[in-house]
Structure 1
Amino acid sequence: MRPPRFWAAGAGHPIARSLAPFGAAYGAITARRMDRPGARAGCPVLCLGNFTLGGAGKTPAAMAVAALLTELGRRPAFLSRGYGGRLSGPVRVDPNVHAAADVGDEPLLLARHAPTVVSRDRPAGAALCRALGADVIVMDDGLQNPTLAKDLAWAVIDGAAGIGNGRPFPAGPLRAPLERQWPHVAGLIVVGDGAPGAWLAEMAEKRGLPVHRAQVAADGPDLAGGRCLAFAGIGRPEKFFATLRGIGAVIAAERLFPDHHPYRPTDLATLAAEAERLGAELVTTEKDAVRLPAAFAARVQVLRVRLVLDHPDALRRQIRQAL
């Protein structure tokens, strides 16, 4: 889904106020669910989640955590629900066999970095991770899922967006009231700059929680000076467009689709025709690219990104202590 504009317009917006009773009910149910005890996995479980619906940078953060674990001599495996995929699992993701329609788009990206398991039953998925040789599990999302106990959980925050209007869904983007979610995290990873992220970081530090600041950096290809038609179906496409501009790309047009959008032939034909009319190159995100048919994907430039931590040693120390 694409976040409605009133989520960022303040808690006093008329639509937000009218939906507040529904948000209170939804948030209370989610908060009570989060408080339930979970099953132990038999090895440490590190969770990258967020307080809100929508994109915050969890997948790049999960990759960064897995890289630190590997540096520490551990054998990480990713565990994901596989949002948008048809397979309930548990199943090991194989990019040579599975498509985004099978396992979701994020697991296909994660599988390039470490063994990745998709499972709606998180304890069953954790068991498969261990069977594959993992000695630590990295959960991509799952902060609000109580079925698997976490040894360390971070909330990943988009610095520019924060928690929107601060109301629970559908009145706002929060999955549960913020005060009820704080006890379930051991720190924040704030991605990018912005007053909303700074405010949350201050709240975390007052609670004695570490705050790890990071930026998303482009990792190729070189698009500087190139004229492009940029399209994306992710949680916060504006971050993608800003990254393109930051590396010097000239954006002739921006086309937005809902998060996890399954591209149809009509979408692709429209994009191709418009790019030709504009004399521009098609450019998209890695998440979008894995949802494209191979023949069309070959015609598209894919902007790769990675998470760059301001102080990786601080996150490494927290991980080492948890292990």
Structure 2
Amino acid sequence: MVVVGNLTAGGTGKTPLTIALAQGLRARGFSPGVVSRGYGGSRRGNRLLDDGSDPREEGDEPCLIRARTGVPVAVGRDRPAAARLLLTQGVDAVIADDGLQHYRLARDVEICVIDGDRRFGNGRLLPAGPLREPPARLATVDFRVCNGGSAAPGEVAMTLEARYVEPLVGAERPRPLAAFAGQRVHAVAGIGNPGRFFAGLRAAGIEVIAHPFPDHHAFAPADLAFGDALPVLMTEKDAVKCRPFAAPRWWSLPVDAKLAPGFLDAVAERLREASRRRR
């Protein structure tokens, strides 16, 4: 079991890292699967996702993870029970997305994702600050992954790379993000840290009209009725919810987690060591 989480409330890049872990472990001979709480979904109980799963029912992040990786994904409030469903699919490496504080989950590897720009804010626990747990918790995790900013000593550097955009509907082909440089666009982000998305677009030379929404927002067509013909760029997490009513000028921006060399090898070796200890 690999548990991915963070100490701070809000987005730090857990889902892109979870996708990278699933892809990386599969490339290293494992049969990975992902267990998720399914935040934002309306369904109850523990279940396995399939190709027709509705993000409005199952949650946007697990549906995105399944679409990007193709690995088995289980969703449920009872995450240990949901994780057991993955074992019926031949999974030998379970990845828990946002499971660091879910102590009912057994774990072989703990990974804490840190926002390299915001770090730990004022260092106080909720509600006085952004922290779910004290910073001292970092001393007990196996890996600290720093998303953006400058990685501190002992942290694994990670960046999010966005190279191209994909149309939500229609026959247009994906195009480089640079194709929108110099253009004015509506930018839509219902994620934990919308500012990171908007800043990335501006860094690519795009003139951004920012439309931040709450994390896991349940989008409706009226949310994106901007009254003009400008392109709409959104995160891939939002795109999985907007695709059923998408318009031709709407584009999704996939991101890939780029990690320090050797990190995925180190995680795989920790899992192998844990497996040997259980024999």
TM-score tier after normalising by the smaller chain length = 0.7 to 0.9
The structural deviation recorded for 1:124 is: 0.8
Matched with 1:219 is 163
4+ residue runs of structure 1 moved beyond 4 angstroms?
A: none
| Number of residue pairs the alignment of both structures matches | 257
Equivalent position to 2:222, from 263, 266, 276: 266
Matched with 2:264 is 315
The structural deviation recorded for 1:58 is: 0.3
Give structure 1 stretches of 5+ with no counterpart: 1-44, 206-210
Equivalent position to 2:121, from 164, 171, 175: 164
Alignment of 1:59-98 (within 5 A): 59-96=15-52, 98=53
Q: Alpha carbons of 1:243 and 1:95: their partners in 2 closer, same or farther (altered >3 Å)?
A: farther
Question: Per-residue CA shift, 1:276-320, capped at 9, x if unaligned?
Answer: 1xx521110011111225122554111111101132x23312431
The structural deviation recorded for 1:67 is: 1.5
Q: Alpha carbons of 1:144 and 1:298: their partners in 2 closer, same or farther (altered >3 Å)?
A: farther
Q: Does 1:229 align with 2:186?
A: yes
Q: Does 1:300 align with 2:264?
A: no
Amino acid at match of 2:62: P
Whole-angstrom CA distance in 2 between matches of 1:256 and 1:168: 25
Compute the RMSD of aligned alpha carbons: 1.7
SS in structure 1 of the partner of residue 19 of structure 2: helix
Give structure 2 stretches of 5+ with no counterpart: 166-175, 273-279
SS in structure 1 of the partner of residue 160 of structure 2: strand
**Larger helix proportion, structure 1 or 2?**
1
The structural deviation recorded for 1:144 is: 0.2
Scaled by the length of structure 2, the TM-score of the pair is 0.87
SS in structure 2 of the partner of residue 292 of structure 1: helix
Greater C-alpha radius of gyration: 1
Matched with 2:14 is 58
SS in structure 1 of the partner of residue 117 of structure 2: coil
Whole-angstrom CA distance in 2 between matches of 1:223 and 1:75: 33
Amino acid at match of 1:193: G
**Residues 221 and 245, structure 2, Cα contact 8 Å, conserved in 1:** no
Scaled by the length of structure 1, the TM-score of the pair is 0.75
Whole-angstrom CA distance in 1 between matches of 2:231 and 2:37: 34
**Residues 283 and 303, structure 1, Cα contact 8 Å, conserved in 2:** yes
**Residues 92 and 115, structure 1, Cα contact 8 Å, conserved in 2:** yes
Matched with 1:15 is none
SS in structure 2 of the partner of residue 214 of structure 1: strand
Alignment of 1:41-190 (within 5 A): 45-96=1-52, 98-112=53-67, 113=69, 114-179=71-136, 181-190=137-146
Amino acid at match of 2:212: L
Whole-angstrom CA distance in 2 between matches of 1:297 and 1:104: 22
Question: Per-residue CA shift, 1:210-268, capped at 9, x if unaligned?
Answer: x21011000312232243111111111111112222333332x1111111111234323
Identity over aligned residues, as a percent?
40
Whole-angstrom CA distance in 1 between matches of 2:122 and 2:5: 19
**Residues 192 and 214, structure 1, Cα contact 8 Å, conserved in 2:** yes
Whole-angstrom CA distance in 2 between matches of 1:151 and 1:88: 28
Q: Alpha carbons of 1:75 and 1:173: their partners in 2 closer, same or farther (altered >3 Å)?
A: same
